[in-house]
Amino acid sequence: MPRPPIIRKDPGAFVVAPNLPDTDAARAAFSWDSARAGLQGLPGGGLNIAHEAVDRHANGPRANHVALRWLPASGAARDITYAQLSRESNRYANVLRGLGVVKGDAVYVLCGRIPALYAAVLGALKCGAVVSPMFSAFGPEPLKTRVNLGAGKVLVTTEALYARRVRKVEGEMPTLRHVLRVDDPGTRGMLEGAPERFAVERTGAEDPAFLHFTSGTTGMPKGAVHVHGAVAAHYATGRFALDLHPEDVFWCTADPGWITGTSYGIVAPLAHGVTSLVDEAEFDAERWYRNLQEQGVTVWYTAPTAIRLLMKSGAEVARRYRFPQLRFVASVGEPLNPEAVWWGKEALGLPIHDNWWQTETGGIMIANTPAMDVKPGSMGKPLPGIEARIVHRREGGLAFVEAPDTEGELALRAGWPSMFRAYLGQEERYRKCFAEGWYLSGDLVRRDAEGYFWFVGRADDVIKSAGHLIGPFEVESVLMEHPAVAEAGVIGKPDPVVGEVVKAFVSLKAGHQPGEDLRLQLLAHARKRLGAAVAPKEIAFADSLPRTRSGKIMRRLLKARELGLPEGDLSTLEGPA
């Protein structure tokens, strides 16, 4: 049912003073040079992400602070301090160097969320390698494609993943010189025998550090190259958008196989010297609530897909847990339906703060920060250092949209430190993302009179019906207001009369059955809330919606299946590998 449009923040109610008390004032005063002043730099010059994330703390007063609290899928938690993580990553750096890894070489890491992943990624960065963390559920084919695209030289994996994912295609990855299985006795011996010290490669801000693949929501995943200098943005956004404070226990639920799990599951929290929770296990509602409660999580960064699953699991489960330590919750990856923001307030005691960014942007660009009033459904305002505008692409160049509440493409002034530097192997495509000094995101948004940005839809997903431009998000959010609906995915279906008609696919919460009555109810509810021009004309029930492995609804697949068209690249489709 309709809710109030705004959640006001009470400055007197903050237990910990927010790092960004006034976004507008901070934007005016901000410079990237001032943000870089929060970094240390390599002794003698240069910049390396692993030094900022680990070694500078290991060499200082936070040496014995817990860097990672690892929760194995079963068994007791294990704490790893900054000093230990520094030594462990040095061992990996020495082993990789021993295998011939030098600056610029590509190292792939396919490990699952275990401590070795973190040590290997950081160790490879220390070697000056370009690191590409792979999602552990990828099957052999997607793995092979990615390794070959980036000319991977070493693949770090486990015995189990080697057997399941690598062996079959090992001979088809010609650049690969070594496959290091971290738990085989030979490698274990090598790691134990390796020195605990390592002189970090003198990388600079413009040297490549990571190769991250996009989620494949709209098509074939792209490989985005990021540089060491990006750490300035991870640091600044960790401070502003995630509000990290030294004593925080932070939990980013994303896997490092997606950029969120690296930028905010490895780099940002470690750069701030906080304790970061790593859960090896997959999503489980009880387990996640228990983690939040028992680990005393203070700042939580998760995704709409997880929130929808928690909502689906029901309020009774949430009611068994308490979260007195939790002070800030943020979400990224897909638009966050207003219903989910409100669910946070009810189930966790805090609204969920949506923020927006992409693999290409490397870090959070637009956010609801702790001190800002939240307008549920809005992704917030640009962070300090980020200039965001709304544009229309025209023959002669860009036209900037000034009027509030007008849709257009989200553009960011190029030059923030974590901006991608290439789409690997696709120069032309990279070039086309920029015009007149602006990066064009491919997402449609509008900005209200108070400067809040609202997501409309991906340019590819927007529906044109009888002269209206309809964003699927708006329609999905309204369907989700209905108590029976767990998830909704909306597409445009070609129609000879109106261009496209709106069709919705809906999955239901436990205890609700699909049927003609419910279908009519949903159609009526949507029509009442959206008007006949925007409301779906057709609703189909589905047990679940096709999703990427990072949890995003794949509307292109709903559409392809509806129209009987080829399904396209399915390498990131969720399902058994």
Q: Are 296 and 223 in contact (CB under 8 A)?
A: no
- Distances in Å between the alpha carbon of 60 and those of 57, 83, 231, 232? 5, 9, 19, 20
What gap in Å lies between CA 352 and CA 342, rounded to an integer? 8
Say which entry of ligand ATP, Mg ion, none residue 208 contacts (CB below 5 to 8 A, set by partner kind). none
Say which entry of Mg ion, ligand ATP, none residue 90 contacts (CB below 5 to 8 A, set by partner kind). none
Cβ at position 301, least distance to Mg ion in Å: 19
Spell out where 186-265 has E strands. Answer: 208-213, 223-227, 249-252
Say which entry of ligand ATP, Mg ion, none residue 354 contacts (CB below 5 to 8 A, set by partner kind). ligand ATP
Cβ at position 140, least distance to ligand ATP in Å: 20
Give the burial class of 295: count Cβ atoms within 10 A of its Cβ; 0-12 exposed, 13-18 middle, 19 or more buried: middle
Of the listed pieces 26-34, 72-80, 206-214, 540-548, which binds Mg ion according to CB under 5 A?
206-214
- Nearer CB in complex with ligand ATP: 276/571: 571
Cβ at position 501, least distance to ligand ATP in Å: 23
Say which entry of ligand ATP, Mg ion, none residue 458 contacts (CB below 5 to 8 A, set by partner kind). ligand ATP
Torsion angle, alpha carbons of 173, 178, 180, 185, to 10: 130
Number of residues forming the site for Mg ion (CB under 5 A):
1
Say which entry of ligand ATP, Mg ion, none residue 55 contacts (CB below 5 to 8 A, set by partner kind). none
Q: What is the DSSP letter of 293?
A: H
What gap in Å lies between CA 288 and CA 264, rounded to an integer? 18
- Nearer CB in complex with ligand ATP: 327/555: 555
- Nearer CB in complex with ligand ATP: 135/455: 455
Of the listed pieces 86-94, 209-217, 443-451, 466-474, which binds Mg ion according to CB under 5 A?
209-217
Cβ at position 474, least distance to ligand ATP in Å: 12
How many whole angstroms from its chain centre is CA 14? 27
How many whole angstroms from its chain centre is CA 294? 24
Cβ at position 479, least distance to ligand ATP in Å: 17
3-state class (DSSP) for residue 48: coil
Q: For residue 33, what is the enclosing H or E element?
A: helix 32-36
- Distances in Å between the alpha carbon of 292 and those of 85, 169, 254? 24, 39, 15
What gap in Å lies between CA 64 and CA 12, rounded to an integer? 34
Terminal alpha carbon distance of the chain: 39
Say which entry of ligand ATP, Mg ion, none residue 216 contacts (CB below 5 to 8 A, set by partner kind). ligand ATP
474, two tokens: 């708006």
- Nearer CB in complex with ligand ATP: 153/222: 222
Cβ at position 454, least distance to ligand ATP in Å: 9
- Nearer CB in complex with ligand ATP: 179/224: 224
Residues at the interface with ligand ATP (CB under 6 A) = 214-219, 221-222, 332-335, 354-356, 358-359, 379, 441, 443, 455, 458, 552
Cβ at position 221, least distance to Mg ion in Å: 9
Cβ at position 321, least distance to ligand ATP in Å: 26
- Nearer CB in complex with ligand ATP: 279/443: 443
Of the listed pieces 37-45, 208-216, 272-280, 445-453, which binds Mg ion according to CB under 5 A?
208-216
- Nearer CB in complex with Mg ion: 214/361: 214
Cβ at position 204, least distance to ligand ATP in Å: 26
What gap in Å lies between CA 206 and CA 354, rounded to an integer? 30
With a CB cutoff of 8 Å and minimum separation 6, the contacts of 14 are 370, 371
Cβ at position 432, least distance to ligand ATP in Å: 14
What gap in Å lies between CA 466 and CA 48, rounded to an integer? 53
3-state class (DSSP) for residue 180: strand
Cβ at position 459, least distance to ligand ATP in Å: 9
- Nearer CB in complex with ligand ATP: 94/218: 218
Alpha helices by DSSP H, 217-362: 231-240, 259-262, 268-271, 285-294, 304-313, 315-319, 338-347
- Distances in Å between the alpha carbon of 319 and those of 36, 294, 314, 316? 43, 15, 9, 5
Chain residue whose CB lies nearest Mg ion: 214
- Nearer CB in complex with ligand ATP: 89/548: 548
Sign of CA dihedral 285, 287, 288, 293: positive
- Nearer CB in complex with Mg ion: 423/454: 423
- Nearer CB in complex with Mg ion: 440/502: 440
What gap in Å lies between CA 486 and CA 272, rounded to an integer? 36
Cβ at position 537, least distance to ligand ATP in Å: 25
What gap in Å lies between CA 327 and CA 137, rounded to an integer? 32
- Nearer CB in complex with ligand ATP: 90/214: 214
Interacting residues with Mg ion between 211 and 240 (CB under 5 A): 214
Binding site for Mg ion (CB under 5 A): 214
